[in-house]
A = this chain, B = another copy of it.
Amino acid sequence: MAVMEFELIERYFTGAGSERDDVVLGVGDDAAILSLPVGHELVVSTDTLVSGVHFFPEVDPHSLGHKALAVNLSDLAAMGARPAWVTLALTLPQVDEAWLAAFSQGFAVLAHQHGVQLIGGDTTSGPLSITVQAMGFVEQGCAWRRDAAKPGDLIYVSGTLGDAGLALEAIQQQIAFPQDELIGIISRLEKPTPRIVDALALHGLVNAAIDLSDGLLSDLGHILKASGVGAVIELAQLPLSPAFRACQQNKMASQLSDECWQMLPLSAGDDYELCFTVKRQAQGDVELLLLAQGIEACCIGVIDADTEAGLRCMQKNGEQYQTEQSGYEHFKGSA
């Protein structure tokens, strides 16, 4: 890629996001210089999105810019960390100004929304791929770790589950759900909301947390494994969006099997909701806070000490729902 083209690209990302006082030196030197608040720890996460693997090559670039940042901010949210700085490594097959303008805008709008500043990166020529590294901070010793769930903890999830997975089914299998609902669930797949605000509000009340990128069974499973605990969740308590319910009740719903509808909220990925555990004694405080701040999150189960039984999903009739499935990969064939 010629020098001129590099300069063109850099122009799109200069000043992306907020301008922060703790950025001593941003883009333009060999490295950025950042100032961490005293008494805090640095929290670092990185994720790559590859064209044709993590997104459709023809996806709206504005949404893609949003999502590349969102999935990383979601990881910081899952640590209870406040996001601050981000780097962007962008590999592009060619320079397409309209594409770059839309991508950088999608990225910048979300960055600005959360007070995050782009402090460095690299632009290279090659097959389309995006690696973002997000950095934030948390008071010393206060990060939410996967290994901190305790028997008796209540299990919460934010928002609603299965929307992104349903959107993927609708796109891949060309299911014609009603337009209004479809737009809603596709936006959940393409422009997920990192639960930063929710996480910061819950500061001090959470034991363990993870973000739901691979599906509830798989991700909650990580908490159980890391913490050495088991859990029971109630399928009837899983939060479903009105759009999801409408699609399910719609006459096109039969294009997906009953098992698929059951499994979507359990094992479809890409929702980027938070799954977190709280001490039972803190439940009152948590519920009050959720109400007061207008945060959508609900209790879906409880952690127990039964490591051997692992994660059990209970149906309304009190029977256990049998499933070997965890990640979304294993699930696609059943649709």
Cα-based distance from A134 to B46 in the complex (angstroms): 12
What are the interface flags for A15-44 relative to B under an 8 Å C-beta threshold, 1 for contact and 0 otherwise? Answer: 000000000110011111111101001111
Contact (Cβ within 8 A) B38 A38: yes
Contact (Cβ within 8 A) A122 B43: no
Contact (Cβ within 8 A) B120 A45: yes
Stretch at the interface among A83-91, A106-114, A231-239, A292-300: A83-91
Chain B residues with Cβ under 8 A from A125's Cβ?
A: 50, 53
Chain B minimum-CB-distance residue to A87? B46
A79 in contact (CB, < 8 A) = yes
Q: How many residues of A contact B (CB 8 A)?
A: 62
Chain B residues with Cβ under 8 A from A45's Cβ?
A: 30-32, 120
Contact (Cβ within 8 A) B87 A133: yes
Contact (Cβ within 8 A) B35 A145: no
* Chain A at the B interface: SS class: strand
Contact (Cβ within 8 A) B129 A30: no
Cα-based distance from A45 to B85 in the complex (angstroms): 12
Contact (Cβ within 8 A) A32 B44: yes
Contact (Cβ within 8 A) A41 B33: yes
Given contacts A3-B327, A124-B54, whether A81 and B44 have CB atoms under 8 Å apart is no
Contact (Cβ within 8 A) A120 B44: yes
A-side residues, CB < 8 A to B, are: 2-3, 24-25, 28-36, 38, 41-54, 75-76, 78-79, 81, 85, 87, 89, 91, 119-122, 124-127, 129, 131, 133-135, 138, 140, 143, 145-147, 209-211, 226, 327, 329
Known: A3-B329, A29-B147, A31-B81. 5 other contacts (CB 8 A): A24-B143, A29-B145, A30-B211, A33-B138, A38-B38
Could you pull out 9 A-B pairs where Cβ atoms are within 8 angstroms? A2-B329, A28-B146, A31-B45, A31-B75, A33-B41, A44-B119, A50-B127, A53-B125, A127-B129
